[in-house]
Structures are given as C-alpha cells and as structure tokens.
Amino acid sequence: MQFNRCSRCGCFFVSSGDVCPNCQQKDAYEINQLKNYLENSSMNSSIQEISLNTGITEKNLHRFFKDDNFIGSDNNPTIL
C-alpha cells in the first residue's frame, strides 16, 4: 500500500493524486474560479495577480498550472 502526502493540508492518504479526498473538492472549486478568472481577464496575468484576484494561494496556482489535466491545454495562459 502506498501513501501519498496531500499537497494542500499535508495529511497522508491512500488514493492516487496530489491531494487527499477532502481537498479534492477544494481543488475543484478553486480550479473553477481560476478558469472563470482566466476567461474574463487578459492572458498575461502573473501568478501574483491571479492569486490576489481569486484568493487562491500561489502555491496552489503553481500546482494547477503544472498539471495539464486541470487546465485544458487549449487555453493555457501565458504565465509571466
């Protein structure tokens, strides 16, 4: 059995993925917010700007952008 460490809360969990089942819902919520923000803003926002405007921590933003499954590869923004 393999344990993963949650990227959000740091707890250990058994299922696959970056975050524990508890945090998957929070991730999904923030990814929605992020997508909405990106649709309504210029594509040249910096991580800091996005974080300020969405309330999502920079750490989580980096994680979302790193994973192409979260943000559709068609509309990947340019991160400065």
Buried b (16+ CB within 10 A) or exposed e, 8-43: beeeebeeeebbbeebbeebeebbeebeebbeeeee
Reduced to 3 states (helix: H, G, I; strand: E, B; else coil), residue 12 is: strand
Quick note: the x/- pattern for Zn ion over 21-60, rule CB under 5 A, is: --x-------------------------------------
Smallest separation (angstroms) from Zn ion to the CB of 25: 10
Handedness of CA 74, 78, 65, 26 (dihedral sign): negative
Q: Is 18 in the site for Zn ion (CB under 5 A)?
A: no
Q: Is 6 in the site for Zn ion (CB under 5 A)?
A: yes
Nearer of residues 20 and 50 to Zn ion, judged by Cβ: 20
Report the interface residues with Zn ion, using CB under 5 A. Answer: 6, 8-9, 20, 23
